[in-house]
Amino acid sequence: MLISVRVIAVYDLPQQSSLLLMVEPPLVGPVHRVKEERLVTTPTPFNELGKDVYGNPLRRIIASEGLFAFEFRAKVDTAPNTDLDDDAVEHPLQEIPTESMVYTLPSRYCQSDLLARMARREFGQLPSGGRRVRTITDWVRQHVEYQYGTTNAKTSAFDTVTERIGVCRDFAHLVIAFCRGLGIPARYASCYALGLEPPDFHSVAQVYLSGVWHNVDATTEAVRPALIPIAVRRDAADVAMMTLWEMGKLREQAVEVREIAG
Amino acid sequence: MLISVRVIAVYDLPQQSSLLLMVEPPLVGPVHRVKEERLVTTPTPFNELGKDVYGNPLRRIIASEGLFAFEFRAKVDTAPNTDLDDDAVEHPLQEIPTESMVYTLPSRYCQSDLLARMARREFGQLPSGGRRVRTITDWVRQHVEYQYGTTNAKTSAFDTVTERIGVCRDFAHLVIAFCRGLGIPARYASCYALGLEPPDFHSVAQVYLSGVWHNVDATTEAVRPALIPIAVRRDAADVAMMTLWEMGKLREQAVEVREIAG
Amino acid sequence: MLISVRVIAVYDLPQQSSLLLMVEPPLVGPVHRVKEERLVTTPTPFNELGKDVYGNPLRRIIASEGLFAFEFRAKVDTAPNTDLDDDAVEHPLQEIPTESMVYTLPSRYCQSDLLARMARREFGQLPSGGRRVRTITDWVRQHVEYQYGTTNAKTSAFDTVTERIGVCRDFAHLVIAFCRGLGIPARYASCYALGLEPPDFHSVAQVYLSGVWHNVDATTEAVRPALIPIAVRRDAADVAMMTLWEMGKLREQAVEVREIAG
Amino acid sequence: MLISVRVIAVYDLPQQSSLLLMVEPPLVGPVHRVKEERLVTTPTPFNELGKDVYGNPLRRIIASEGLFAFEFRAKVDTAPNTDLDDDAVEHPLQEIPTESMVYTLPSRYCQSDLLARMARREFGQLPSGGRRVRTITDWVRQHVEYQYGTTNAKTSAFDTVTERIGVCRDFAHLVIAFCRGLGIPARYASCYALGLEPPDFHSVAQVYLSGVWHNVDATTEAVRPALIPIAVRRDAADVAMMTLWEMGKLREQAVEVREIAG
């Protein structure tokens, strides 16, 4: 499928600011390939695309005081998103790549240490594998209400598991925390999703089963037709569209994801 | 200096368990070199030394139900630990290696997002550099009481900054959170320390100034004579001597660190 | 002084709902007397004014599904608000009325147990009395930034002491928590304040010194010209203008407090 | 039944300290009557028995620096503890005494505001009444593991609902938070319980149904043969055997509760 992506955003910065921008998917991923892309920003003293410790593209910018705006456009060829197979297998410790071990440990928003006992009590007796992960995502979808504007940048899986309300970010964090609590490597992916209404950035969990990473999306029973990962890391602390150390206000943002007649 | 290290520990596992063991320093570090080492464990179905995503040695073990014990001995040649220079410089974003950017982001125990405003208010007006980091470690030492047994595996920098009591782990987490809140890369190092009384594992913060990582230890005004890092990562969630996903009880542990006549 | 008060609010209730409404000041308080008042609501199956365990007026309403609106108007004669005297004295335990002891204990939003060590370290060495309480309110005003919309119904003193931002509710909670941590009875008062811009409900702390309760308002260095307490209890969990157990949305609210030519 | 109670405790106080002691049951309760009692303490500058705002006996003591010890002995005649009747009815708002409304609001350890959505989702569809409360206590007993030493004075219902481990205090807090989340008045009672092994202070929830307060104890499926309430309030923040504002260490404690041949 050929997907067209467009993002614009405007920020107001009270002083010169360092920021990370994560809107550019890797040029080539397991199921996608970027055909064209263009990032335009207001002039900045520094602007560089590098690679982080997890292998994600990482754009670092120093922006001047005042308005900072950018527009990102891309055309991406991607295979359709597929559902997790019930028979996908969980790996014992010795089969997990050492560089993926970090995805079994707790992180800022996925306190799997605190949720482990609950994960074992709720899901520990189920046969391991894709079916168990699906039971977890079903549990999250059935127990947590999806509602815009109910959570914020402080909300973590430890909150969501009890408060039972949130958005895609919160759903993904809770799935990740449960999976890690069972020893299943799980990570957070921000992505462009086809068919989201209203259009916005999307987030899903990824789990490591049968030797590959699978998207699992607790916000929907159906399978999103296409998901293009922008960045995958431990949780939303590592993968924000924009990370700012200093103050700054988002003034405006629009995301557009469309299928182009193939 | 030539340092001799010895650790023994015994665990009781109610079932076959996966675990990570981090007691073996890298063979060569910036200021140390392991001369001899030996790890002996009770027999295990699986036991392998690999490397994690951050470049640390990572030993993974699957241990059978019942008692699991290990003994680790090493002789390590190390340069003495040195104090952070007041004139060490903080780096602007563009000079921080991309792979170190992760150490500017919040993590499980170092919620620098929540502590950033306080960090800026307390330390933001100071001239940047080694002196500022020293002011932070002094603040932590002067405001937090050191006392064994007052905190636990749930305690984070967000707790410590208010509750004002803890151990080396808590001191390191708070220093790290403040530094990240100011945009200074900071990470957590578990280590063998010479001169600790009673002997135990030790933890310190490391900050990236003048292009290298420096140990900073808020638990003492003096400089520890020797510090041998075992593992360095984002915080104690990544760097536990032992990580267990299943239940398990520590029965016994002893650590010994001595200088050997050189 | 003669003060005129007017509140209107409109709620949307998805089902028949029980609610507590606290907008009516007691008819007579230590420094005020209500001259006229009138509460009008949309028709309700049940509507009753009683008295709670702390002696506050407590209006209980069962409202039907759909829109629920009320208007409250009052004229209140009050002495001007006065500043806390530096020489006001703290009471040792035996001089505090037993029914006020509850205001020395931790509550939902004022976790004085967690803040006690910090309170003792920051303020414990100061001479006791009104001056010490003023030092606490000054500390709060100088360390916490006042900004609308930055906190919510979950925010507690334990958050505010580190996050350093909030509104009058958060300022009052933090003052209360510090005072209780030092053994000073402190409670939360919602009130009508003259001169607030924009007009809104206001909250202040009250501390028990020299045998009476004093308003202390960390949001301003000056003294509010008039403060009419509506309800005083342990913290905002007990004193919300509106408490709803079921869902419900505030659609509209306006508060008006004016001095009437005497 | 005639019950004999004995408590001894020894504290080490680093300075003269104010403290609340709650070990003396009210002389007459709904189902008990104290026949004899005696409290002996090491000499104290101040020692007085009063009554708190909720009507509980409240002993206030100022104790000198050093060891503070007390012994309390009592003989209490009590009716056997009875099980909550499935048919006990929940009251609509207008039938709850105004002075009991406070027990529908959140408190330090029972954040019913945060747990309300979960309470409604898990228990909101059940027919109201004693049976529903029993379903809640069964849920707590079946989902939370009882284990000494796993929680501490910071642990709240919000922790326990996810961490799934704790002691009687934690079980009671969680029951209370769920009930309040449904609008059922619920409070915390510390008590002497017959048949506890090992003997210790005990805590249970009390719920207001059919116009009276009922003990509900999620730690056991059976009914404790006798429960003598010492103090009932909002949660353990209000009802600690001992409340100390300054530092102090418990050195020793023993509790003994026996049935005396009637």
| Nearest beta carbon to residue A121 from set D114, D161, D164 | D164
Cβ separation B162–C158 shorter than 8 A? yes
Tokens of B74: 């090493």
Which chain A residues touch D115 with a CB distance below 8 Å?
162
Cβ separation A183–B238 shorter than 8 A? no
Is the pLDDT confidence value at D164 over 80?
Answer: yes
Distance from the A182 Cα atom to the nearest Cα atom in chain B, whole angstroms: 7
- Which has more confidence, A29 or B244? A29
pLDDT band at A51 (very low <50, low <70, confident <90, very high): confident
| Least confident span in B156-170, B243-257, C215-229 | B243-257
Mean pLDDT value across residues D122-126: 97
pLDDT band at A239 (very low <50, low <70, confident <90, very high): confident
Is the pLDDT confidence value at B125 over 80?
Answer: yes
- Which pLDDT score is estimated for A57? 86
Mean pLDDT value across residues B87-104: 93
pLDDT band at D29 (very low <50, low <70, confident <90, very high): very high
Chains in contact with B via at least 3 Cβ–Cβ pairs below 8 Å: A, C
Which chain B residues touch A54 with a CB distance below 8 Å?
53, 102
Q: Which residues contact A177 (CB under 8 A, 6 or more apart)?
A: A106, A110, A111, A112, A115, A119, A157, A158, A161
- Beta strand B165-166 with B145-146: parallel, antiparallel or unpaired? parallel
- Which pLDDT score is estimated for C42? 96
Cβ separation A162–D165 shorter than 8 A? no
Helix, strand, coil percentages for chain A (3-state, nearest 5):
20, 40, 40
pLDDT band at B43 (very low <50, low <70, confident <90, very high): very high
pLDDT band at B51 (very low <50, low <70, confident <90, very high): confident
Handedness of CA C208, C209, C213, C214 (dihedral sign): negative
| Least confident span in A11-15, B245-249, C74-78, D45-49 | B245-249
Mean pLDDT value across residues A175-182: 97
Cβ separation B94–A46 shorter than 8 A? yes
Q: Tell me the pLDDT of chain B averaged across its residues.
A: 94
Distance from the C118 Cα atom to the nearest Cα atom in chain B, whole angstroms: 6
Per-residue pLDDT of D226-256, as tens digits, reads 999 999 999 999 988 888 887 788 999 999 9
- Which pLDDT score is estimated for B25? 95
Per-residue pLDDT of D57-97, as tens digits, reads 889 999 999 999 999 999 999 999 999 999 999 999 889 99
Alpha-helical runs (H) found in D124-233 = 130-143, 157-163, 168-181
Identify from D155, D164, D174, D178 which residue to disrupt to test chain A contact, counting A C-beta atoms within 10 A and taking the largest count: D164
| Least confident span in A124-133, B117-126, C239-248 | C239-248
Is the pLDDT confidence value at C262 over 70?
Answer: no
- Which has more confidence, A262 or B74? B74
Half-sphere exposure of B224 toward its Cβ, with a 13 Å CA cutoff? 27
- Which pLDDT score is estimated for A88? 97
pLDDT band at D54 (very low <50, low <70, confident <90, very high): confident
- Which pLDDT score is estimated for D262? 58
Mean pLDDT value across residues A60-75: 96
Mean pLDDT value across residues B92-108: 93
pLDDT band at A244 (very low <50, low <70, confident <90, very high): confident
**Following DSSP, what letter does each residue of C123-151 receive, concatenated?**
HTTSPSSHHHHHHHHHHHHHHSEE-TTS-
Tokens of C223: 């003294």
Per-residue pLDDT of B187-196, as tens digits, reads 999 999 998 9
Q: Among all residues of chain C, which has the CA nearest to that of D45?
A: C94
Q: What is the DSSP letter of C181?
A: H
Is the pLDDT confidence value at B172 over 90?
Answer: yes
- Which pLDDT score is estimated for B164? 97
Mean pLDDT value across residues B56-62: 91
Which chain D residues touch A163 with a CB distance below 8 Å?
114, 117-118
Distance from the A178 Cα atom to the nearest Cα atom in chain D, whole angstroms: 11
- Which pLDDT score is estimated for A262? 59
The structure's pTM equals 0.95
| Least confident span in B247-251, C75-79, C254-258, D35-39 | B247-251
What is the C-alpha radius of gyration for chain B, rounded to an integer number of angstroms? 18
- Sheet (strand A57-63) strand order: A46-51, A57-63, A17-21, A242-244
- Which pLDDT score is estimated for A52? 83
- Which pLDDT score is estimated for D244? 85
pLDDT band at A6 (very low <50, low <70, confident <90, very high): very high
